[in-house]
Amino acid sequence: MTDQPTNTSRAPKPVKASRCTMNEIVLPNDTNGLGNLMGGRLLHMMDVCAAIAAQRHAEQVSVTASVDSVEFQSPIYMGEVVVLEGQVNRAFRTSMEIEINVWAENPRKQTMRKCNKAYYTFVAVDENGRPSKVPPSQPETDEEQQRYDGAARRRELRLLMAGRLKLQDAHNIKDLLLETLREDEAQTA
């Protein structure tokens, strides 16, 4: 295996090429006093899953730039299997939005429960730790296209919140708000 990127043409890569699935059993050392998986331990697993997806897409070392919209919907208990699934929703210039979904698998009941979801932003970096260009991502299904479209709006929101984007430059958010206003007006007319 070589350390050099193989996708030197920077040709678009399908979303599915970045997909990462991880399974991990919850052990006593991972839990709090109630026997539930600790939030920080789960965030670590999610970060690892997101890093693998980002690096599969970028073919370069990629670092966590931000995490948003983490939802802890349901506890995960000792002995259950944490199932994580991640993929690059959309690649930008040097950054990528990765969506991570988490389920808890109960081995005795043979059930799966949706527990968490989060969006991670990773940035590909060169050997000096400076941001480095990534290939475009190519959605192939309706679901992937929806996530791709939504990623542009979420990116603007997180850059606004981080003070890295001015409101007048948030074109995707403005278009969405105007469209929603028009729909509301049409319904009440």
Ligand X SMILES: CC(C)(COP(=O)(O)OP(=O)(O)OC[C@H]1O[C@@H](n2cnc3c(N)ncnc32)[C@H](O)[C@@H]1OP(=O)(O)O)[C@@H](O)C(=O)NCCC(=O)NCCS
Binding site for ligand X (CB under 6 A): 63-66, 92-95, 121, 123, 125, 129, 131, 158-159, 162
Which sign, positive or negative, has the C-alpha torsion 169, 165, 16, 37?
Answer: negative
Of the pair 58, 104, the CB lying nearest ligand X is at: 58
**Which C-beta is closer to ligand X: that of 53 or that of 104?**
53
Beta strand 95-106 pairing with 81-91:
antiparallel
Q: How far apart are CA 87 and CA 15, in angstroms?
A: 7
Residue 103 or residue 119: which is nearer to ligand X going by CB?
Answer: 119
Residues in the chain: 189
The pair of three-digit structure tokens given for residue 189, joined into one six-digit string? 């007319």
The nearer residue to ligand X, 162 or 178, going by C-beta atoms, is: 162
Q: Provide, rounded to whole angstroms, the least separation between the CB of residue 179 and ligand X.
A: 24
Closest distance to ligand X from the beta carbon of 155 (Å): 7
Closest to ligand X by CB, 26 vs 88, is 88
CB 50 within 8 A of CB 86: yes
Q: How far is residue 89's CA from residue 14's CA, in Å, rounded to a whole number?
A: 10
Q: Which one, of 135, 143, 154, lies nearest residue 17 by Cα?
A: 135
Q: Report in angstroms how near the CB of residue 130 gets to ligand X at its nearest.
A: 7
Least separation in angstroms between CB 52 and ligand X = 15
Task: Give the span between the Cα atoms of 104 and 30, in whole angstroms.
Answer: 14
Smallest gap from residue 53 Cβ to ligand X (A): 16
